[in-house]
């Protein structure tokens, strides 16, 4: 691949975004919230230096954040030094022209065990605190605050909008 071809490929969406119709930000955020509420698995990417990890995880969406209860694992190697994360959520088995997905960039916070925020997230998930306290290892809680969400929805073309829309906090 030549440098010119690489640049052409890399700038595809930014060039396309310049000419596509944008959705109303409130309508876009409502679509994002509905999408996140009706899905429950994401691929979370963490990393530091040359190390990267992408982990499929179950999540909930509420209070403007993604909430992930997790036993731990290699994702914490990246989180220890780098709070910046990325996540992907998508419809499976989408047909050509039927893609719906989100790419999320944001920051991760490890919520203090059994804090009010931790307890509220457990209640939202309907996980009894006594069950969490009895586990042999802690169940950690990640709170992902999105800073930018790239939305792909092929159906938006029918409404005169670009199939890719950006939401920024």
pTM for this predicted structure: 0.91
Closest CA to 102 of 93, 91, 89: 89
Closest CA to 75 of 102, 50, 48, 49: 48
Convert the pLDDT of each residue in 55-88 to its tens digit.
Answer: 999 999 999 999 999 999 999 999 999 999 999 9
**CA dihedral (34, 35, 39, 45) positive or negative:** negative
Q: Which domains does the chain have, with CATH numbers?
A: 23-168 (2.30.110.10)
Convert the pLDDT of each residue in 84-103 to its tens digit.
Answer: 999 999 988 766 667 899 99
Q: 66 with 104: CB under 8 angstroms? A: yes
């Amino acid at each position: 691949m030549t440098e010119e071809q690489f640049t052409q490929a890399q700038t595809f969406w930014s060039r396309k975004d310049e000419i596509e119709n944008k959705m109303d930000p409130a309508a876009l955020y409502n679509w994002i919230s509905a999408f996140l509420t009706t899905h429950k698995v994401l691929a979370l990417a963490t990393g530091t230096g040359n190390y990267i990890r992408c982990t499929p995880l179950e999540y909930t969406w509420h209070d403007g954040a993604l909430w992930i209860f997790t036993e731990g694992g290699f994702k914490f190697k990246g989180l220890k030094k780098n709070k910046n994360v990325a996540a992907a959520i998508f419809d499976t088995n989408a047909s050509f022209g039927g893609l719906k997905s989100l790419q999320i960039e944001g920051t991760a916070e490890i919520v203090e065990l059994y804090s009010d925020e931790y307890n509220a997230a457990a209640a939202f998930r309907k996980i009894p605190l006594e069950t969490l306290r009895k586990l042999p290892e802690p169940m950690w809680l990640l709170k992902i605050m999105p800073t930018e969400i790239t939305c792909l929805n092929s159906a938006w073309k029918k409404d005169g909008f670009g199939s890719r829309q950006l939401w920024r906090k």
